Amino acid sequence: MKTALATVSISGTLREKLEAAAKAGFDGVEIFENDLTQFELSPKEVRKIADDLGLAIIALQPFRDIEGMPEKLRLQKVEMLKRKMAVAHEMGTNRLLMCSNVQPYSSGDRDRCADDLRHLAELAAPEGIMLGYEALAWGYHIADYYDAWDLVKRVDHPNLGINLDTFHMFSRGNTLDLLRDEIPVDKIALVQVADAPVMPRQDYLTYSRHSRCFPGQGDMPVVEFVQVLKDKGFDDYLSHEIFNDDFRSSSPIEKAIDGMRSLIWLDDQTVSTGEPKSFPVKVPEVKRLEFIEFAIEGETGEALIKTLAQLGFKETHRHVSKNVSLMRQGDINLVLNREPASQAHDHFQKHGVSVCAIGFATENVKQTLAMAEHYRAERFANQAGPGELNIPAIRGIGDSLVYLVNADSKYRFFDVDFEPIEGIQGETGVGLTRVDHLGQTVPNVDFLSAGFFYKSIFGFDIEPKQDLPDIHGLVVSRTATNRDKSVRIPINMTNARSASAERFMQKAGGSGVQQIAFACDDIFAAVQNMDQEKQLPIPANYYRDLEARFGLDPELVQKLKEHNIMYDENEQGAFFHCYTEEIHGVFFEVLQRVGNYSNYGEANAYVRLASQARQEQNHTAS
């Protein structure tokens, strides 16, 4: 299928939108009328820009409130259509998209509405224009595609087809039966694919204007929809028409790439009848988080090292040629990069002490890189010295990198490029065993795309989002996990200016890793051996509430309180966890999972967030 993007989906001037669509690799664009009306160049000049960029202008839209209008307004609509067809010709497109009437004074008489549409189709015929009729979910009389198809059938004209928009279909609860069993391919004027989170029934217009997202980022059955189209032999454009406040307030090129990634993903999830897939869509499995790399310099860098040392980490290896060292404990690898001529240094200049990269161990690096390229991820040109590993990397979330190593390699990354520090081998630290999860915080405009980055390229599952109450607002979180949940990446955002996620991004200069959680087998033994100077204090009221909620043994509650350890439990098991203070916005968690507990202690998040805010205020005051 061919790919297209409605210009309303992204931000910028019409020229910027066209350039972004071309750079992302779209075949065509739908021109949203507002974008053209406010643009300084003529329709012919717009066509020239599109031609130069290799884009087809596939439609002009929308033409509103057509059918069932009072006579005076009906005549105005006829004259308007004539002028819109002239504009369409100048732009080199032969499609005009029409929306069902939303006016309360319009007629719902089907025969009359069909007569209106038939008259318009007859006007379009000598002009070679195809009219696409779409049911808006909030249409006054025609609100779902069943009724829209009824009108198109009544008109029975070769220049009138139905426009299928997944948002309008699925927000109304429509099934795919009508499309599967009755609508022929030659009567489909255009297909627009949009997704959205499932929400309680509400005002459809508000839902449409603020909640749409790219397919794969929401909960609608868009994959099933595209599969039905392929089964019917449809091979025309799949186009995005996305109304989303965050999309229209962010980089047009980044959102255009997200949109193209989404259409590629949709194609990969579905199969054309009788045709082999042209790309291996089985995503190589990510087996583990191989390492976390920090960009460090100066006093803040030393403060980070001190905190890690209090958690039992020691520098065990040094790089053979660079100012880079490695801290290890259990199967946790923390790379400390002080190299002046490096991506880490550039990251430090922008973000201060921070996580500049993570490393995934994947079952097939070559295929993972091919998948990343397939989904429009950007390769990073790494520089390795003679005889050193050239670990491939792609651009990740924000300015960070994702490195890729083979999970089944006979050696680890540090066996080649690092030398052990004499006398440090065999240190067990305080009993931390692995990275349990890694929390990344992003702006609200990047929340959906961050999750889809991990979903599309690495095949991660995206868990349902959760609201975490902060004393200054609300933090929204959803977690990306690999198949066996050995790699967990909570992604957080907020719309509140003073909430913890926003405060982190102000300190860090944008997106970044805010939280790193280390697992252990015995949290009481671990904290007993940890230096608790940098530990986050938890208020005594929390422990009184904890005892009341779970009926815990008072001795256990006292033990938890002494070490600022928090607790949660459910039917699957129990969860113990505690936190360090923040270092340039980054904080660490030590946790123990008991039984099959697979959550993250979300019930305790509001207490932790309040404690962090209070400690931050105390440090500011001092």
Residue 186 predicted with pLDDT over 70 = yes
Question: Is the pLDDT score of 414 beyond 70?
Answer: yes
Task: Pick 606 or 278 by higher pLDDT.
Answer: 606
**What letter represents residue 494's amino acid?**
T
Two structure tokens written together for 470: 């902060």
Consult the annotation and say whether 134 binds a ligand: yes
Residue 8 in this model has a pLDDT that exceeds 70: yes
What is the torsion angle, in degrees rounded to the nearest 10, for the CA atoms of residue 244, residue 95, residue 220 and residue 206? 40
Asked whether 151 and 179 are in contact (CB, 8 A), the reply is no
Instruction: Decide if pLDDT at 572 tops 80.
Output: yes
Instruction: List, for residues 416-434, the tens digit of each pLDDT value.
Output: 889 998 877 655 789 999 9
d(CA 255, CA 249): 10
Going by C-alpha positions, the residue among 20, 440, 596, 610 that lies closest to residue 256 is 20
Residue 334 scores a pLDDT above 60: yes
Angle (CA) 193 198 204, round 5°: 75
Q: In this predicted structure, what is the pLDDT of residue 426?
A: 53
Pick the closest to residue 132 from 146, 151, 108, 115 (CA basis): 151
Average pLDDT value for the chain: 92
Residue range 311-330: average pLDDT?
93
pLDDT value at residue 386: 52
Contact criterion met (CB below 8 Å) for 415 and 423: no
Tally of CB atoms within 10 A around 409: 12
Q: What is the pLDDT of residues 224-235, one digit of tens each?
A: 999 999 999 999
- CB atoms under 10 Å from CB of 534, counted, come to 18
pLDDT at position 280, please? Answer: 45
For 468, phi and psi rounded to 5 degrees? -110, 110
**pLDDT band at residue 247 under the 50/70/90 scheme:** confident
Q: Would you say 241 is a known binding-site residue?
A: yes
Q: Three-state SS string across 186-209, please?
A: HHEEEEECCECCCCCCCCHHHHHH
Contact 179, 152 (CB under 8 A): no
A 10 A CB-CB count for 275 gives: 8
What is the pLDDT at residue 278? 53
Using the 8-state DSSP alphabet, how is residue 493 labeled? E
The 10s digit of each residue's pLDDT in 191-214 is 999 999 877 656 788 777 778 899
The number of beta carbons lying within 10 Å of the beta carbon of residue 484 is: 10
Residue type, 325: S
Burial 92-106 (b: 16+ CB within 10 A, else e): bbbbbbbbbbbeeeb
N-terminal to C-terminal alpha carbon distance within the chain: 62
Q: Could you give the percent of the chain with pLDDT greater than 90?
A: 82
pLDDT (mean) for 616-621: 73
The whole-number pLDDT of residue 178 equals 97
Rounded Cα distance between 376 and 531, Å, is: 45
Lowest mean pLDDT among 8-17, 114-123, 261-270, 374-383: 374-383
Cis peptide bond prior to 62, omega within 30° of 0: yes
CA atoms of 67 and 163, how far apart (whole Å): 15
Model pLDDT, residue 570: 95
Farthest-apart Cα atoms in the chain, separation: 92
Q: Is the pLDDT of residue 277 over 60?
A: no
Place of tokens 């429009």: 376
Residue the block writes with tokens 């042209």: 278
Spell out the domains of the chain, with CATH numbers in brackets.
2-269 (3.20.20.150), 286-420 (3.10.180.10), 432-621 (3.10.180.10)
Q: What is the CA radius of gyration of the chain?
A: 28
Calculate mean pLDDT across residues 500-524.
95
Judge whether residue 383 has pLDDT over 70.
no
3-class secondary-structure state, position 4: strand
d(CA 241, CA 86): 23
Predicted pLDDT of residue 279 = 47
Q: Position of tokens 């329709």?
A: 43
Half-sphere exposure of 200 (CA within 13 A, CB side): 0
